[in-house]
Amino acid sequence: MTLEESIDWAGASRALAEWYRENGRHLPWRLTADPYAVWVSETMLQQTQVSRVVPLYLAWLSAFPNCRSLAEADESAVLSLWRGLGYYSRARNMLASARLIVSAGYDGPPNDQAFLAGLPGFGPYTAAAVRALAYDEPTAALDGNLRRVSSRLTDLDKDPALSEGNKVCQRAVESLMKFQSPRLLTNALMDLGSGPCAPRPRCLLCPLEPYCLARKRGTTALRPVRRAARPIRRRFGAALLFSTQTKLAVRQRPKGGLWSEFWEIPWEVGSDGEDSGVTARRLAASLGEESFPEPLTPSVTMRFTSWQVETKLFRAASQPTGTELLPVDDALSLPMPLGILRLLREALQSGLIR
């Protein structure tokens, strides 16, 4: 029996639509089908939780209400509105794509798969999400939620992120879309994936429970299949504080890599197992310091996807090579890694600056 025959897609689709009308979340980006607003929300939501996006989405739409206003913005203004969301290339790509969209004579991302696929920041997911949510096209926007829901619904025994499993998920969602609005179903599947079909499932609340093959076979906990996570690497790091009465020594990070072209106080991650004091001394020496940096109290843990760094703050006796002195307030308003910013705020509160 093929996948298409093994599930009552019409029934499942109807149950999902009815459930969504009663239980769907009321989110600000669902008040409009404006392709630009859909694009903004979908980009912000990449690997980022809804609760974190809501206020920043509203602030962004207020500052850049349409594609043209974004296209005319400065990168610094864009990055400032992105502060706290991480993955800053998303913001830079949005600015670049807005300019391409306006140059092509559109006032927002068009319903044109080939054009969208050529825009920076538009991968398979975002392009499909704009088409399904803004234009109601029967296109499967496969994110983590839809992959998880599809994996369980079809009892998929392969990783849904890899090519073969991805195709099965795509067919499942397209099967549902034969019977209900793609826009409604996409939103409904998202809400299912963050509620009843969250990583820890609550099948008794799920409208697809009567249709779910994993539920039928008792394999829900095994779905979706995923490969083992890599261990988290742990390191120590050191940051150098040098300040005068009202100014702070900062430098700009190189282009490319982590926090491309962001500003920081001199900061370095130690090698495996290295104490932060050793790192601080090496960093200071490499920047022309003759005396040992003085250890201070503030420290932060910066966590990334597959590694984390506990960074401690040290005071340098003279201005490190390669830094410039900026008024403290100006320095703190530059695009800066949030971990460094937290370190500096702690230093301000403890009176270490000024």
- When binding is defined by CB under 7 A, the residue of 32, 46, 66, 80 that contacts DNA is 46
User: Which of these ranges, 72-80, 175-183, 256-264, 279-287, lies near DNA under the rule CB under 7 A?
Assistant: 256-264
352 vs 354: CA distance, rounded Å: 7
- Among 181, 84, 66, 200, smallest CA distance to 133 is for 181
Is 289 part of the annotated catalytic residue set? no
Q: Which residues contact 159 (CB under 8 A, 6 or more apart)?
A: 165, 224, 225, 226, 227
CB 61 within 8 A of CB 20: no
Segment 166 to 205, residues that bind DNA, using CB under 7 A: 187, 190, 193-194, 198-200
Binding of DNA by 21 (CB under 7 A): no
For residue 217, the minimal CB distance to DNA (Å) is: 20
Binding of DNA by 270 (CB under 7 A): no
- Among 127, 124, 144, smallest CA distance to 38 is for 127
- When binding is defined by CB under 7 A, the residue of 9, 60, 122, 211 that contacts DNA is 122
**Amino acid in the structure at residue 189:** L
146 vs 173: CA distance, rounded Å: 8
Binding of DNA by 303 (CB under 7 A): yes
Binding of DNA by 87 (CB under 7 A): yes
Q: Which helix (H) or strand (E) holds 248?
A: strand 247-252
- When binding is defined by CB under 7 A, the residue of 143, 264, 268, 289 that contacts DNA is 143
Binding of DNA by 229 (CB under 7 A): yes
269 vs 280: CA distance, rounded Å: 9
Active-site residue (options: 42, 264, 268, 289)? 42
Q: In DSSP terms, which residues pair with 249 in a beta bridge?
A: 325
Q: In DSSP terms, which residues pair with 250 in a beta bridge?
A: 324
Query: Interface residues with DNA (CB under 7 A)?
Result: 27, 29-30, 41-42, 45-52, 84-89, 93, 120-127, 129, 143-145, 148, 162-163, 187, 190, 193-194, 198-200, 226-227, 229-232, 257-260, 302-306, 337-339
